[in-house]
A and B are shown apart, each in its own frame.
Chain A
Amino acid sequence: MANLRTALYDAHVAQHARMVPFAGWDMPVQYASIIEEHKAVRSAVGMFDVSHMARFSFGGTDAAALLEKVFTNSVATMKEMQVRYGLVCNADGGTLDDVIVYRWPYGYAMVANGSNHDKILAWLKQHATGDVQITDETPSTVMLAVQGPKAIDAVAGLFPDDVSKLKYFFALPTRYHDRGCVVSRTGYTGEDGFEITVPNELGVALWDAMLARGVKPCGLGSRDTLRLEAAMPLYGHELTEKIDPLQAGLDWAVKLNKDFIGRDALKSASEAAGHRPKRVGLLLEGKRAARQECVLLADESTPVGVVTSGSFVPWLDQSIAMGYVAPRHAAPGTPLLVDIRGTHVPAAVVPLPFYSRKK
């Protein structure tokens, strides 16, 4: 089956993007240079087509109850226009996806990973009872992430409402070219920025407006290195159905005092936390990169964990990684070895995140 294409496909090709298959879509992995794209987002502003992300909206009087049931974070305590990060877990506490939920005056919305679109939509439908309407907005909309310290300047005056007033993890329904759109102060880069959702027909207009303001097109390659520096988990790497959110260090997004699918398992798990592998950051000596599935060792012959993501990252100019290790090796400063294709490269556990922007 042919891959899906976002409404910006031709715009990517016009910018000489290298398109790769990702989560069932043809997506740009880079334009000219992952390293330059990464640096642009840290120092100025870049934009990412994230239309492959799954976007669902919820209406009906039982929508809140459905979300409360499938989401590890609290929905009841969300303010209108607030956006909240959390997990969707199975009954064993394993992570089905990490998502963000939006609360509107008139309902809710969710953004999930593109690779989990079908799984999460099926899960939502399976657990929906009573008056809930779930709409898949993914095929009809473009989502553009405008990220970087100059993101505010890039979007200034674009909408009738002043989005620069938006607080972090808040969103605003507003208008673009007289059509409804959504702007949220969210992102996946560790920088300030916005994620803008517009109808497909306006995707190219928004893209061209950003290009005209000097916003650099950035692909999935730099999106990955940026989120790695910011130590944000990536589904399929730091999070899987075999890894629960507590091991990943996402306790802050798991409210064990409310009822949701997986709570009982996570409650038991939290009591056994001292015995379970835990997510850590690693700083490697030299320039070689650790990759997913590289084994972590306490000494030449004692495996104690595994790498989930790693790269030589452009902004910090260091080889960093994340992985899971036994708790007694998880303290910052602990020396470890990373088996990279048979070579044992010295590394040290370091606090996360590797990078955080100055606020």
Chain B
Amino acid sequence: MDLDALRYAPTHEWAKLDGDIVTVGITQFAVEQLTEPTFLDLPKVGKVLKLGEEAGVIESVKSTSGVNAPVAGEVVEVNTKLIDDPATKRKADLSLVNNDPFGEGWMFKVKVAPGTTLDSLLSKADYEKQIAGH
């Protein structure tokens, strides 16, 4: 994943635009602050998210954080590896978020309105400036 191609929310989500689909996850910094995830709640496919709305929740033994929508739009896909599948009894693998938050640990995809840009989000340099000193 080219981290320079991503945009960042001040609340530690990353967003990547491909056509009219934005992929969302949380940053390495967020994972480090949280420590290993123990629970993740993701939005349902079809849910329409408002900008900045709490789309999901991630928890560790230490703390609980909201995962906020860095863009507005409809959820078209969630990373099913991160949630339990009762049908096959496959358990959620949250180590993907812990070990590869910018890749395999992506969380959900949102379909955005035509012409949407991510310009209102932070560049990598600006995000790094925000988290510097922590």
Asked whether, in the complex, the Cβ of B39 is within 8 Å of the Cβ of A288, the reply is yes
Whether the pair B57, A34 counts as a contact (CB closer than 8 A) is no
Asked if residues A33 and B38 are in contact (CB atoms below 8 Å), the reply is: no
Q: Are A291 and B38 within 8 A (Cβ)?
A: no
Chain A positions within 8 Å of B2 at CB level: none
Per the CB 8 Å criterion, the residue count for chain A at the interface is 21
Which residues from chain A contact B60 at a C-beta distance below 8 Å?
34
Q: State the Cβ distance, A341 to closest chain B Cβ, in Å.
A: 7
A residues 1-40 touching B (CB-CB < 8 Å): 18, 29-30, 33-35, 38
For residue A314, CB closer than 8 A to chain B, the reply is: yes
Which residue of chain B has the shortest Cβ distance to A288 in the bound complex? B39
Residue in A18, A30, A221, A289 whose beta carbon sits within 8 Å of that of B38 in the complex:
A289
Tell me whether B89 is interfacial, beta carbon within 8 Å: no
0 or 1 for each of A308-319: is its CB under 8 Å from B? (1 = yes): 000111100000
CB contacts under 8 Å to A, within B35-50, are: 35-36, 38-39, 41
Q: Is A141 an interface residue (CB 8 A)?
A: no
Q: Is A225 an interface residue (CB 8 A)?
A: yes
Do residues B61 and A221 form an inter-chain contact, with CB atoms below 8 A? yes
**Cβ–Cβ contact A288 & B36, under 8 A:** no
Q: Which residues from chain A contact B62 at a C-beta distance below 8 Å?
A: 29, 34, 221, 224, 311
Chain B 96-125 against A: per-residue CB contact (8 Å), 1 yes, 0 no? 000000000000000000000000000000
Which partner residue on chain B sits nearest A222 by CB separation? Answer: B61
Most buried by A among B38, B39, B59: B38
Verify A289–B59 contact, CB threshold 8 A. Answer: yes
Within 8 Å of chain A (Cβ to Cβ): is B79? no
Residue of chain A at shortest CB distance from B41: A288
Given A288-B59, A289-B59, A312-B59, check contact A35 B64 (CB 8 Å): no
Could you tell me if A225 and B38 are in contact, using CB atoms closer than 8 angstroms? no
A173 to B7, CA, bound (A): 58
Question: With a CB–CB cut-off of 8 A, which chain A residues contact B4?
Answer: none
**Interface set, chain A 323-342, CB cutoff 8 A to B:** 340-341
Tell me, yes or no, whether A287 is within 8 Å of chain B by CB: yes
Q: Are B64 and A225 in contact (CB under 8 A)?
A: no
A18 CB contacts on chain B under 8 angstroms: 32
Q: Report whether B64 and A341 are in contact in the complex, using a CB–CB cutoff of 8 Å.
A: yes
Q: Could you tell me if A35 and B61 are in contact, using CB atoms closer than 8 angstroms?
A: yes
Beta-carbon nearest neighbor of A286 in chain B: B39
- The smallest C-beta distance from B85 to any residue of chain A, in angstroms, reads 15
B78 to A: closest C-beta gap in Å: 17
Q: In whole angstroms, how far apart are the Cα atoms of A314 and B61 in the complex?
A: 8
Q: Is there an interface contact between A291 and B39, defined as CB atoms closer than 8 Å?
A: no
Chain A residues 28 to 73 lying within 8 A of chain B, measured CB to CB, are 29-30, 33-35, 38
A286 and B92 alpha carbons, distance in the complex (Å): 13
Q: How far is it, in angstroms, between the C-alpha of A206 and the C-alpha of B20 when the chains are bound?
A: 59
Known: A288-B59, A289-B59, A341-B57. A30 touches B35 (CB 8 A): yes
Kindly supply a per-residue 1/0 record for chain A positions 274-287, scoring 1 wherever the CB is within 8 Å of any chain B CB and 0 otherwise. 00000000000011
Residues of chain A within 8 A (CB-CB) of B61 are 34-35, 38, 221, 225, 289, 311-314
Docked CA distance A314–B38 (Å): 9
CB distance from A190 to the nearest CB of B (A): 16
| A312 in contact with B39 (CB, 8 Å) | yes
Please give, as numbers and ranges, the residues of chain B lying within 8 Å of A35 by CB-CB distance: 36, 61
- Best-buried of B32, B61, B62 by chain A (most CB within 10 Å): B61
CB-nearest residue of chain A relative to B134? A20
Tell me the bound Cα distance from A30 to B33 in angstroms.
10
Shortest Cβ distance from A318 into chain B, in angstroms? 11
* CA A341 to CA B67, docked complex, whole Å: 13
A33 touches B36 (CB 8 A): yes
Q: Which residues of B contact A38 (CB under 8 A)?
A: 61
The distance in angstroms between the C-alpha atoms of A172 and B60, with both chains bound, is: 38
Interfacial chain B residues near A314, Cβ < 8 Å: 61
List which A296-317 residues lie within 8 A (CB) of chain B: 311-314
Asked if A287 meets B36 with Cβ closer than 8 Å, knowing A221-B61, A341-B64, the reply is no
What residues on B are CB-neighbors of A286 within 8 Å?
A: 39
A214 to chain B, nearest CB (A): 22
Q: List 15 A-B contacts (CB under 8 A).
A: A18-B32, A29-B35, A29-B62, A33-B36, A34-B62, A221-B61, A221-B62, A287-B39, A288-B57, A288-B59, A289-B38, A289-B59, A312-B59, A341-B64, A341-B66
Inter-chain pairs besides A225-B61, A289-B39, 5 sampled, C-beta below 8 Å: A29-B62, A291-B64, A312-B38, A312-B59, A341-B64
Interface residues of B, Cβ cutoff 8 Å to A: 32, 35-36, 38-39, 41, 57, 59-64, 66
